[in-house]
Amino acid sequence: MDCELTPKLLPGKILEVTDLGVKVTLKGRMGIIQVPLRSVITDKSLQVGQEIRVYLSYIQVV
Amino acid sequence: MDCELTPKLLPGKILEVTDLGVKVTLKGRMGIIQVPLRSVITDKSLQVGQEIRVYLSYIQVV
Amino acid sequence: MSITVETAEQHYNDPAVLCCLRQKGTVISASDLEDPAIFPDLEESGLLKLSEDSLTIGQVLGSTLDQDADAMTPLTPKLVSHFAEKKTEESGKITTSLSAAAASGLNNSVIRFSINELKGQIEIPAGFDPSVLPFTIPSAPKLEPEDQIIRTLTQREFDVQEVRIGAETSFQDKVLTIREGLCTESLKADPLVKDAELDIIPPDQRHVYSNTIMDVIPIATKTEGILGEGTTHVMRGAVVILTGVDELGVQVHEFGSCEGYLDEKIRFGRPGSPDPDDIMIRIHVTVQENTGMERRGPFAAHKACDYIIQEIREALKKAPAEACVKEDVYHDYKKTGKPRVVLVKEIMGQGAMHDNVILPTEPAGVKGGRRNVDLGNVPVVLSPNEVRDGGIHALTCIGPATKEVTRHYFREPLVNLMAEDNEINLVGVIFIGSPQVNDEKSYVSARLGALAEALDVEGAIVTTEGFGNNHIDFAENIEQIGRRGIKVVGASYCAYQGQLVVGNKYMDAMIELNKDKDGFENEILADSTLCPSDAKRALLMLKTKMAGVPIEPANRNWSQDVIDANQQFIQ
Amino acid sequence: MSITVETAEQHYNDPAVLCCLRQKGTVISASDLEDPAIFPDLEESGLLKLSEDSLTIGQVLGSTLDQDADAMTPLTPKLVSHFAEKKTEESGKITTSLSAAAASGLNNSVIRFSINELKGQIEIPAGFDPSVLPFTIPSAPKLEPEDQIIRTLTQREFDVQEVRIGAETSFQDKVLTIREGLCTESLKADPLVKDAELDIIPPDQRHVYSNTIMDVIPIATKTEGILGEGTTHVMRGAVVILTGVDELGVQVHEFGSCEGYLDEKIRFGRPGSPDPDDIMIRIHVTVQENTGMERRGPFAAHKACDYIIQEIREALKKAPAEACVKEDVYHDYKKTGKPRVVLVKEIMGQGAMHDNVILPTEPAGVKGGRRNVDLGNVPVVLSPNEVRDGGIHALTCIGPATKEVTRHYFREPLVNLMAEDNEINLVGVIFIGSPQVNDEKSYVSARLGALAEALDVEGAIVTTEGFGNNHIDFAENIEQIGRRGIKVVGASYCAYQGQLVVGNKYMDAMIELNKDKDGFENEILADSTLCPSDAKRALLMLKTKMAGVPIEPANRNWSQDVIDANQQFIQ
């Protein structure tokens, strides 16, 4: 099936911060992303509740 | 800081399937994404271990 | 009993017998004639004597009665003038083509030009078709048949001004009392339910925290008849909201939950939401740990909730009819001669809460219904009245702004609008599930196409709640209908976050349901669901398309301006 | 490109522009005019210049061209005579009622009586309806619409004169060779399959013992298009029979099995059976012990069998078109103006072998289809072509004489008869499962009723295979249709052993399928199934009922005499 995966810039919020990474929930509650600290770009130190944004598309099984 | 977020098409694998959603791990262990079933596009029934792809960018704190 | 035009056509070669007293000068039509099907009985009982010179129905239609005559009088050449000569070659043949019979029937009417002298010219343009003459049966002056009522549903609304907890469940003088022990008792609805609580939230005390809202459920019950007909009692001013967590405190769905302060998390007044003045009866259910993500967990919560509502329904059943503040009467119609259209509601069908109970026994109930996932998500036809009488109980949970809850289906704006519109003939409402896997999507879509083809509709509106891979079926459903030459309009939230992932050439008339200024799933319950104004836009667009007016190509990206501009047409 | 009458009606107030060169004296009709939808493009490219005094399409229909004129010429008062004055109050209104638009359009045609002197009398009977004038557009002289072809299926039959076991599967010069290792390989279709054997039974060597016949399966394959359209290759003269036991030697179904000598246990020549001259390819499958009575066991046998057939299909696909001995072309039609009827096939849906695969990918295949039990047994609509192209793979097993096997659906006599009958409009074939529990039966029956209502059919034939509690739904299905005013005929084996257990007043036109002289389930495969003569009786009875002719009450008990008497009508 030929389907267009389009990344969308989504706002979200930080749910959890560890020494290793963050867990964020996306606006619209359509997903949760966990990434290592390296993948987070920030001007201030990370805290739960901070607003974030990230590009995400639907997931396609290949 | 003004930084360009660029979504990248990443391969990954399904870690977990529930009646509600899936959890995938991205290649290079650079992240875990959980999304509802509706956000998964698939030609076959979902199973742990299946290969997927998804667009994801870094996360930016705003 | 007089017969219809259709019956007359079927009995074209049977004897013509008056059904009632008719006066001299009457121009004979079907409504003056008795049904030949009962002649054997009439003859046997001596009420009717047919003679050799009886005229047939085909011969007498349009002829004139020359003298007063009683019921059960067979019409003969002595009684009528201007009847037609018998065409013998047609007799005995079963005629199934009604239009042919009608045409030959009309041939027997007469225009008489007794001209002795004529000076001048008669000009008849090419294409004159003498086999069709412009006469109608006098007593049935309307060519367009009346809409025929198939079934009638009466909904009586009863005001609720206060809700209390008390010793007995009762509903009297606009006060609903709910029995204290009912919640505990509801646990037996399903062993997965570990706790259930109930509290009352008056309209002026809404700034309270709430776990995620799984559903908004009207309180309604049958007092007569089955779903879609008879009488239903409905409470006005009070509505149930169902919330849920598991024993570990995890929201019953990790994604798309809308826990938070009720006044901030609900767009009050949407078809699916509580209204601004509604008292909310909040039922909070705790299910077994880790079952919130499984199909059985959330369903158990709905079962417990339904158990509680059922006792309230029993009290509501007893409300005296005269105490109702409003009575709505809804009809399912058979409309002949108006363009046949269908409404297709695509519903979630991917398991867990992405599921819906179809046709429970009680309005908006759970028991007695079957879930679309268990029906393989194939299309199922409901009558408009069945939908309006609570034929769908939604289990759907995510995302908050775009999900259609149970109350939404109870007050579905498109169902109401299309059912009441007298320019169209809404033949039914099709519910089709959205499965997970693309092959399954195609399978059910193909069945929708076959069904639409068999229904022989001219137009269809397809809606889908939510967004995500259900937009794949949404596109395919529209294509399956559109490529059969049926005019089709789609309605969905897409906007920014839910941009369509696939498309086809039949998706040229789309209604955007987004109400968020930035085009996001904004986590406010029911905000971007289908509202009456969306319904009007959709139906107008369908009528426009059916009238052959071209639809302008859509913009590449979502823009609120388009919606605003289109909205003007319906204001 | 010229436009249709419908398009002309829709663009009633748009400018009239000639689509092609037309000569002086032409009476303007829709077929002379260009589609206004493309005017913007034409104007932009300079091909068309509309002027202030252009006439509208509504004005020029029926007018006469006064001089030769080129394509793309806008019609003006200078060019035509007898055009109508513009009616401005209509412009800008979206007209959805096409008949109204048509009527006003025809109003502008002209009958001219230029009478200078008249002596005499003109008499016009009451009921003259001036809004309808008897003109047709000259280029479309027929008022009755043609049957419109929706899709076309071509079935090419290829003779099989010999079947062998060999090194490679191939099909050449009427010889089918089946690879020796194929059976062993087929075990991988399902782990429950423990053994599979294949042997060839020529028509003259049928006195061989056989385990119970689970199915009779035609060998057919798509070479183009999907099921119901495109091209299908079919083998003639060879058919697969599937038999099965479990590892303990128990017949795959303890009830209703028909093990025994093949020549004694099959009624050859029935729609579902092998024909008298057919070579039988017998595939015998052994499934895991004790799984023969579970749903998964028999289905595993069908999967292994389908695996084997698929390799034969691949060979059949390659057969050159010119080698076919017969080519049948089947159409699905949209028939306007003929009475809409539907065929309802009630199929088993009680689990295990009482199940059917709906719409597999290959004709009469297994893969790609879904089982009606998994669809909750709700009614599903197939087009007649989809059924004739092998849209149903039967898993049904009991009892032998009354079960409808896969080949039965492939050659269903009622589908063929009703689809080809040009007095009726078969809108579709509905498959509805028969569940176990009475509540579920009622649930799916009610959906059948809602579907029949939405389909707006005048008549229906309901059939059921087998007998037993499926007669409860059979009765309920008939009632759900009948009480909506739809004429309905039922067809089933009942006779002595299968006497109906319930009944209702709509069951007044019943076709008995029994062929056993004592009225028993006689354990002979397909003996008492629906045959062409039954189909003819059923359709004639439906037509009779639709024509309003009363049906005589049935006798209290089954009697062969009734069938014989009715059979005379169709001979």
* Residue C549 near residue C459 (C-beta atoms within 8 A): no
* Residue C115 near residue D120 (C-beta atoms within 8 A): yes
pLDDT mean across residues, chain A:
87
Shortest alpha-carbon distance between residue B41 and chain C (Å): 6
Measured between CB atoms, does B47 come within 8 Å of chain C?
A: no
Measured between CB atoms, does C468 come within 8 Å of chain A?
A: yes
Tally the C-alpha atoms within 13 A of residue D104's C-alpha that lie toward its C-beta.
21
> How confident is the model at residue D94, as a pLDDT?
35
CB-nearest to B31 from A1, A33, A50 is A33
Taking CB atoms and an 8 Å cutoff, what residues of chain C touch A31? 255
* C113–D123 CB contact, under 8 Å: yes
Q: Give the alpha-carbon dihedral of D394, D396, D401, D405, to 10 degrees.
A: 10
Cβ neighbours around D149 below 10 Å, total: 10
CB-nearest to C450 from D375, D383, D548 is D383
Tokens 């009982």, residue located: C45
The residue annotated as part of the active site, out of D183, D305, D397, D531, is D397
- Residue D563 parent element (H or E): helix D560-569
Tokens 């695996």, residue located: D307
* C255–B46 CB contact, under 8 Å: no
Tokens 């035009």, residue located: C5
Shortest alpha-carbon distance between residue C501 and chain A (Å): 5
Question: Rounded to an integer, what distance in angstroms lies between the CA atom of residue C568 and that of residue D9?
Answer: 27
pLDDT mean across residues, chain C:
87
* B37–C294 CB contact, under 8 Å: no
Complex prediction ipTM: 0.74
Tokens 């955007």, residue located: C512
User: Minimal CA–CA distance to D344: which of D229, D459, D259?
Assistant: D459
Question: Rounded to an integer, what distance in angstroms lies between the CA atom of residue C3 and that of residue C33?
Answer: 6
> How confident is the model at residue D89, as a pLDDT?
42
* Residue D235 near residue D176 (C-beta atoms within 8 A): yes
- Angle between the C532-546 and C413-420 helix axes, to the nearest 10 degrees? 50
CB-nearest to C497 from A2, A3, A8 is A8
Cite the active site residues of C: 397
Chains D and B touch (3+ CB pairs under 8 A): no
Taking CB atoms and an 8 Å cutoff, what residues of chain B touch C501? 41
Amino acid at A58: Y
Q: Strand D209-210 relative to strand D260-261: parallel, antiparallel, unpaired?
A: antiparallel
Cβ-Cβ contacts under 8 Å for D142 (sequence gap 6 or more): D136
Shortest alpha-carbon distance between residue A57 and chain B (Å): 5
* C522–A8 CB contact, under 8 Å: no
Shortest alpha-carbon distance between residue C39 and chain D (Å): 11
Handedness of CA C96, C98, C100, C103 (dihedral sign): positive
* A28–C468 CB contact, under 8 Å: no
Q: Which long-range contacts (CB under 8 A, 24 or more apart) does C556-565 make?
A: C558/C494, C558/C495, C558/C496, C558/C499, C558/C512, C558/C514, C558/C519, C560/C514, C560/C517, C560/C519, C562/C512, C563/C512, C563/C514, C563/C537
Chain D neighbours (≥3 Cβ pairs under 8 A) are: C
* B52–A43 CB contact, under 8 Å: no
* B59–A52 CB contact, under 8 Å: yes
Which one of A56, A59, A60 makes the best mutation probe of the B interface by having the most chain B beta carbons within 10 Å?
Answer: A59
Closest residue in C to B34 (Cα) is: C255
Helices marked H in C339-412: 384-388, 406-410
Q: Which long-range contacts (CB under 8 A, 24 or more apart) does C318-322 make?
A: C318/C171, C319/C156, C319/C158, C319/C171, C319/C233, C321/C156
Taking CB atoms and an 8 Å cutoff, what residues of chain D touch C340? 456
Tally the C-alpha atoms within 13 A of residue C77's C-alpha that lie toward its C-beta.
5
Tens-binned pLDDT, residue by residue, of chain D (571 aa): 678 777 887 788 888 988 878 888 888 888 888 888 778 777 777 778 888 888 888 888 888 888 888 888 889 888 888 887 764 443 333 333 333 333 333 444 445 555 555 555 555 555 555 445 444 444 444 456 688 999 999 999 999 999 999 999 999 999 999 999 999 999 999 999 999 999 999 999 999 999 989 999 999 999 999 999 999 999 999 999 999 999 998 888 656 677 889 999 999 999 999 999 999 999 999 999 988 888 899 999 999 999 999 999 999 999 999 999 999 999 999 998 899 999 999 999 987 778 999 999 999 999 999 999 999 999 999 999 999 999 999 997 777 899 999 999 999 999 999 999 999 999 999 999 999 888 999 999 999 999 999 999 999 999 999 888 889 999 999 999 999 999 999 999 988 877 888 889 999 999 999 999 888 888 899 999 999 999 999 999 999 999 988 777 666 666 777 777 777 777 5
CB pairs under 8 A between B and C: 67
- Indicate if the pLDDT at residue C115 is higher than 60: no
Shortest alpha-carbon distance between residue C252 and chain D (Å): 27
Which one of C212, C398, C471 makes the best mutation probe of the B interface by having the most chain B beta carbons within 10 Å?
Answer: C398
